[in-house]
Structure 1
Amino acid sequence: MNENVTALIDLGSNSIRLAIYKKDHSGNYEEIKKEKVAARLITYLDEQGKLSPEGTRLIIDTLHTFQKVINSYPISNVIGFATAVIRQAANQEQILAEIIRETGYEFILLSEYEEAYYGFVGVIDSIDLNDGVTIDIGGGSTEITLFENKEMKHYHSFPFGAVSLNTEFTPEPQVTNKQLATLNTYLITQFQSLPWLSNVKYPIIGIGGTVRNLGRIYQKKNNTKENKLQIHDVDKILLEISSLSIDERSKIKGLSKKRKDIIVPGIKTILTLMEFVQAPYFMYTEKSIRDGILNARLNTRGRQE
């Protein structure tokens, strides 16, 4: 078996992802294979907060599919980690036990701190910034950190993400101005709960599917590779997308068809945060929490406590 080939399975609220990495002679990890299933697991939580049997079955079936891919590579190290949807599930222990029983994979259940920290680690060495704010918008949670001199100073995990916000605030095929105003009020209230976040005037660095889609839409519209957006750029994209029905959004270049129904609350979260922080700009990156786990667990950068 090749100790330099590692598989990561990211069990998230919106999607379940497999990424296979190969370590080169310089000690850097290159992604050589990736798979994704848009499972929307957050929608399988019932009124008692339990993940339904259907949701658990979806996880197992997806992992069996991933297992076939993993077994076709010389992999000696499989790292599975779960985030908000399992963290929020009242039956999390039963779910994790069933995963082990059915697949043999033992998943790490990340705490709110770990999810925020690994997202921060995933981007900090890839950007030329000493001070900033990071945001990772998932399906059922949103992690925000504030860093200074490249060290994380504050973090918070909000119990909402693109899927849950869409379910609560923008569930119809056509978004209304009233819905956006209600969502804006909610987001401001949430951000106001963090005194360290107000008016810091640092750039915002985003990771995650919503962020990648926003960046790609901007690049397609402007025929550029620029990854920095001003507040008016984000506002313009939000206005255009929110004016379209879900079906009409399919014509937006750069927008994933699997994300077209939840993109509006995701971008609205970014825009509201930019206004609240008074950010000079928003930067998107292709890095992810998976890069953070690779760096923190398999490389020399130590994990903070």
Structure 2
Amino acid sequence: MNYKAVIDAGYNSFRLSLYSIFPNLSFRLTASLKDYVRLGLGVSEGKPIPEENVKRAEITLRKFKEFLDRKGIKEAEILGTSAFRYASNGTEVSDRLSSIIGFPITVLSGEEEGRYSALAVINTLPIEDGIIFDLGGGSLEIAYVSQRKIRDVYQFPLGGLRMMDKNPEEIKKEVRIALASLPSSKGILVGSGGNLRAIAKMDLKLEGEKLDQIHGYSVSYERIAKYAKILPSMSISERSQLPGIDKERALTIHSAAIVVKELMEIMGKDKVMTSAFGLREGILIESEIENVDKLREFWMEGVSYNFNVEPFVDSYREALKETKDVAVSTAFYLLQLMKASNFLDPYMGCYKVFREITIPGYTADEINVITTLCALAKKFKKKYYNKVKKLIDKDTILVKAKKVKELHEAYELGVRKW
């Protein structure tokens, strides 16, 4: 197996991600280790990183090194972010930590950090135009995207940990001043970063959504505004009792919610879409996948490799040409993949498996419809349709499900039988 190890040495947390790299250069997260090092805690522009923070980082990197050594991983890419950029001793600390892990730390500029994060979003979600932001512990990066190309990138010292001790009005004022000169943009608003993902997980549970899928999941401005108002009034203990929020995340989620709310107001956006992919994944693919059709084919191949099945994407193209329906064509392809993987019931295998794993290239609503098509292609059951009735009417989805079944029965391992 071809592995790629990436360590994100962030302002708030350090995370080691180990990816399996497939022949088409798509990937799967295979292992992940994380520590809330809080390297940037107490660091302001031009001030040093405190010694106690560095010692916590050393302990974490020794753990990471032991893991890499035991797995026989000989190379790792280590990305240093805003704590190293802001601190007067950032270079000294990066050299010291590099000697612990045995690989050099690359300290990214704010623009590089924002570009890599945006690249991950573009290459895992079907977006054309919009604004992509990465909200970390120490900084906020904002990238403008047009026709799936990254145009401009901005960086601001507005991270969740950096602002956690400020009162809501101070945070609002600081965000408003910092972002005042940003241009507006058409298209959607998409965000990455641990705090936004935690907000999305919480929202999924509180709103009773039917799919545990945060990649491509959208949260409305009204709900973000509600969280930005309520979370700061709660204690850390109270916040940690909320669904999707652990004790460590409870320290920063309140300030992050305010930053997201203010950003949405400034940009005039009524919802924010969440990306499960960010900086670490951004360095795995060198450039923007040029269009959404190729994006989806790329990840259909990746999903096939994930199940140790040689891709048969030509059948997806044939189905798409015939039906002009992405949901039908994708459901058909996933059914074929389940059959090739020896699932006794490909229909329910498709429904259950692909609601539990992240399939890049699609929004959460699209995955909800696609997996439900798999189930309904076998037999209509109200409990399955109820999960998508807000997205598609019954008659329409039944017609689509019938077509999915016809295609599935007409093919074997991606080859049409008749």
TM-score interval, smaller chain: 0.7 to 0.9
Instruction: Give a deviation string over 1:242-299, Cα, whole Å, max 9, x none.
Output: 3322221122111122111211110111111111111142100111110101112xx8
Against the structure 1 CA distance between its residues 96 and 185, is the aligned structure 2 distance closer, same or farther, given a 3 Å change threshold?
A: closer
Partner of 1:273: 263
- Tell me: higher relative CO, structure 1 or 2? Use CA pairs within 8 A at least 6 residues apart: 1
| Alpha-carbon distance in 1 for matches of 2:229, 2:258 | 10
Q: Counterpart of 2:178 in structure 1: which amino acid?
A: Q
Higher helix share: 2
Q: Say yes or no: does 1:216 pair with 2:207.
A: no
Out of 96, 113, 117, the residue aligned to residue 98 of structure 1 is: 96
SS in 2 for 1:130: coil
What are structure 1's unaligned runs of at least 5 residues?
170-178
- Following superposition, the deviation at residue 300 of structure 1 comes to 8.8
Against the structure 1 CA distance between its residues 293 and 218, is the aligned structure 2 distance closer, same or farther, given a 3 Å change threshold?
A: same
CA contact (8 A) 1:201 1:278 kept: no
Partner of 2:6: 8
Aligned residues: CA RMSD: 2.0
| Alpha-carbon distance in 2 for matches of 1:164, 1:60 | 21
Q: Say yes or no: does 1:289 pair with 2:279.
A: yes
Q: Say yes or no: does 1:50 pair with 2:48.
A: yes
SS in 1 for 2:70: coil
Q: Say yes or no: does 1:240 pair with 2:225.
A: no
| Alpha-carbon distance in 2 for matches of 1:284, 1:71 | 34
CA contact (8 A) 1:228 1:284 kept: yes
Q: Which aligned pairs between 1:175-254 and structure 2 lie closer than 5 A?
A: 179-194=167-182, 196=183, 198=184, 200-224=185-209, 225=211, 227-254=217-244
CA contact (8 A) 2:144 2:151 kept: yes
Against the structure 1 CA distance between its residues 46 and 284, is the aligned structure 2 distance closer, same or farther, given a 3 Å change threshold?
A: closer
| Alpha-carbon distance in 2 for matches of 1:186, 1:44 | 18
- Following superposition, the deviation at residue 113 of structure 1 comes to 1.2
- Following superposition, the deviation at residue 25 of structure 1 comes to 3.5
Q: Which aligned pairs between 1:7-26 and structure 2 lie closer than 5 A?
A: 7-26=5-24
SS in 2 for 1:75: coil
Higher strand share: 1
| Alpha-carbon distance in 2 for matches of 1:212, 1:100 | 29
Q: Which aligned pairs between 1:27-42 and structure 2 lie closer than 5 A?
A: 27-42=25-40
Q: Say yes or no: does 1:160 pair with 2:134.
A: no
Q: Say yes or no: does 1:67 pair with 2:57.
A: no
Out of 130, 141, 144, the residue aligned to residue 143 of structure 1 is: 141
Q: Counterpart of 1:235 in structure 2: which amino acid?
A: A
CA contact (8 A) 2:45 2:86 kept: no
Number of aligned pairs?
285
- Following superposition, the deviation at residue 145 of structure 1 comes to 0.9
| Alpha-carbon distance in 1 for matches of 2:154, 2:70 | 39
Partner of 2:128: 130
Q: Counterpart of 2:187 in structure 1: which amino acid?
A: Y
Instruction: Give a deviation string over 1:156-206, Cα, whole Å, max 9, x none.
Output: 110220011113x1xxxxxxxxx3233212211111032x2x4x3532101
| Alpha-carbon distance in 2 for matches of 1:48, 1:180 | 25
Q: Counterpart of 1:254 in structure 2: which amino acid?
A: G
Higher CA-based Rg:
2
| Alpha-carbon distance in 2 for matches of 1:228, 1:101 | 42
CA contact (8 A) 1:138 1:209 kept: yes
CA contact (8 A) 1:44 1:54 kept: no
Against the structure 1 CA distance between its residues 204 and 108, is the aligned structure 2 distance closer, same or farther, given a 3 Å change threshold?
A: same
Against the structure 1 CA distance between its residues 76 and 300, is the aligned structure 2 distance closer, same or farther, given a 3 Å change threshold?
A: farther
Query: Which is further off, 259-268 or 52-61?
Result: 52-61
CA contact (8 A) 1:201 1:277 kept: no
Instruction: Give a deviation string over 1:45-102, Cα, whole Å, max 9, x none.
Output: 3796111222222222211100111112242331111000011121122212222333
Against the structure 1 CA distance between its residues 100 and 237, is the aligned structure 2 distance closer, same or farther, given a 3 Å change threshold?
A: closer
Against the structure 1 CA distance between its residues 48 and 134, is the aligned structure 2 distance closer, same or farther, given a 3 Å change threshold?
A: closer
Q: Counterpart of 2:22 in structure 1: which amino acid?
A: D
| Alpha-carbon distance in 2 for matches of 1:232, 1:18 | 35
- Following superposition, the deviation at residue 14 of structure 1 comes to 0.3
TM-score (norm 2): 0.65
| Alpha-carbon distance in 1 for matches of 2:119, 2:125 | 11
Against the structure 1 CA distance between its residues 126 and 47, is the aligned structure 2 distance closer, same or farther, given a 3 Å change threshold?
A: closer
| Alpha-carbon distance in 1 for matches of 2:202, 2:273 | 13
CA contact (8 A) 2:85 2:109 kept: yes
Out of 256, 260, 265, the residue aligned to residue 246 of structure 2 is: 256
Against the structure 1 CA distance between its residues 31 and 108, is the aligned structure 2 distance closer, same or farther, given a 3 Å change threshold?
A: same
Q: Counterpart of 1:231 in structure 2: which amino acid?
A: Y
SS in 2 for 1:90: coil
SS in 2 for 1:294: coil
% of aligned pairs identical? 25
Partner of 2:353: none
- Following superposition, the deviation at residue 153 of structure 1 comes to 1.6
TM-score (norm 1): 0.87
